[in-house]
Chain A
């Protein structure tokens, strides 16, 4: 049974230009103990999906879904109190913009300690205080911070961006959630730290059976961790498959473009020559093209593409394209 089960999640926003659909009928399931990658370009709505799961919204957003469940809990209809319990115990999210997610006027150590649950700890006040401190240090070591004393005593503005991000990760895993939503957890970290973070996530997944939704904008991080991936473009899921399969044979032109951007593909072009990429950029939500949203940028587009393609199944692959790539 899937731990996270999303069916037809739609997020609309009221803007000056009218109502736009930022996320359009997205379905996503993750089985317990698995890792799913969610890959898409900037602005494709990845973070919005994460926010919808953890229940963050703004007054001008309208979030609807046929199903949004965590195990047997319906996340769409929760009382305030129930939601708080679920958030505290079952779900955690690593946000994308780490520096603004920390309270600027409180020391980082205190903030980290507050996010460590003590419900299961028996002992007096002092023992619990000491224990929390120890836990906080251990968490910082896990995410690759060596100088825990300095970091815990600092205010966020005194830390570099990368360290803030590491602290955020530590806070997210502190509560040992069942589901972890990691929104680009290793962005702009150096390769060593990044691989340490990915190893940590992998270990949490394997030993604690933590289910992870790994959001990223390229394959490079996702492929090391995720068994399955969903590719999202402009708020729509365009391809879903196992990671191994999708890397060896993609059906959707957009997936292929993402794969072409992988380092080993780029390597082949000489330094300082133009890089290969899809022409154009993600369309604005206010001016979406008719039919297939990749249309204007797609090298394989044909007349029929003005009709919106629906997700179809081919072996264990799901993809939304009228002219799937022929395999060699």
Chain B
């Protein structure tokens, strides 16, 4: 058990060190990390120590420290990402299950072709079309922004939905509905790619599982296909694909950052783009570090999570 956790943490730490090194090298060439621009173990170590103490450099534009600024914009991006993933699971697993159950061939084909179409739509274009039609023409959703700024309530976590949930009773309902209506289109647009991926992976994985002998055995015991899907199908089909889906997190995060410009979403992406326009290298360095760190962390975390819930992977834990 400890051996397993250690191994995974090792992986996490080594990758983080490499990422930090890249940021460090970038910083040294741009004279971001102080006067000593030599690249050696001591300056590298100093750099790490500074990062750990929360000193991520100072913005050359505003002259303010980077770290608090970044912490202020990160939740907006992450919230969008998580929401998109949640939607992709809620939509993808049932659709993938239907397609993977095989019996209805036309059903499978329909789902798969819709998936293919969705997968090949340019996300940027979809975002613009939805904003133009649903927001500008129909006026159903707000065009941009993250929440109604006129509502006044505290934002302790920075995650809009959580803050709205705990808002004072008089503004709570209005806050929640405003947050959701602002999030709706960005979330839907972002969810497209991971949803197609979830559908595809669930279909393949479940298709394999449903051909296994234990499923046939269950059929001869007189269980219905749906009971078997719940009992044996998903239990064996979902866990093995979780690490693959964890990998997707990185690309969704990137897409989010790009789309933030379209939706004028106050997240890391918009913040970084501004930094690039203004040649604020310290901010670029900090943003890159934070994003890569989050991606690495989610990947390792999904891996550990899978191991914990999936007996066939849990073997690994017992053996050491």
Query: Which A positions have Cβ atoms within 8 angstroms of B?
Result: 54-56, 80, 83-89, 91-93, 95, 97, 100-106, 114-115, 155, 157, 171, 175
Contacts and interface: CB of A to CB of B under 8 A. Distances in A.
A67 to B, nearest CB: 21
Interface stretch (B58-66, B255-263, B285-293, B308-316): B308-316
A105 B213 contact: no
B220 A104 contact: no
Given A97-B213, A157-B315, A103 B220 contact: no
B236 A87 contact: no
Contact of A85 (B212, B218, B222, B311): B222
The B interface is mostly helix, strand or loop, or mixed, namely helix
Contact of A101 (B214, B224, B239, B315): B214
Given A105-B236, A105-B312, A88 B213 contact: no
Interface in B201-244: 212-214, 216-224, 231-232, 235-236, 239
B217 A104 contact: no
Given A56-B219, A104-B311, A104-B312, A84 B224 contact: yes
Residue from B213, B219, B232 whose CB has the most chain A CB atoms within 10 Å: B213
Nearest to A57: B216
Given A100-B214, A102-B214, A89 B311 contact: no
Contact of A54 (B213, B220, B239): B220
Contact of B310 (A55, A56, A102, A105): A105
A92 B219 CA distance: 11
15 contacts: A87-B219, A87-B220, A92-B220, A93-B217, A95-B213, A101-B217, A102-B217, A103-B214, A103-B218, A103-B235, A104-B312, A105-B239, A114-B231, A115-B221, A157-B312
Contacts of A101: 213-214, 216-217
Looking at A89, A95, A97, A171, which has the most chain B CB atoms within 10 Å of its CB?
A: A95
A175 B223 CA distance: 13
Contacts of A56: 216, 219-220
A10 B222 CA distance: 24
B213 A84 contact: no
A89 B312 contact: no
B70 to A, nearest CB: 41
B311 A88 contact: no
Contacts of A97: 213
Interface string B73-110: 00000000000000000000000000000000000000
Contacts of B213: 95, 97, 100-101
Given A103-B235, A105-B239, 8 more contacts: A84-B222, A84-B223, A85-B222, A101-B217, A103-B236, A105-B310, A105-B312, A106-B232
Nearest to A181: B220
Nearest to B220: A54
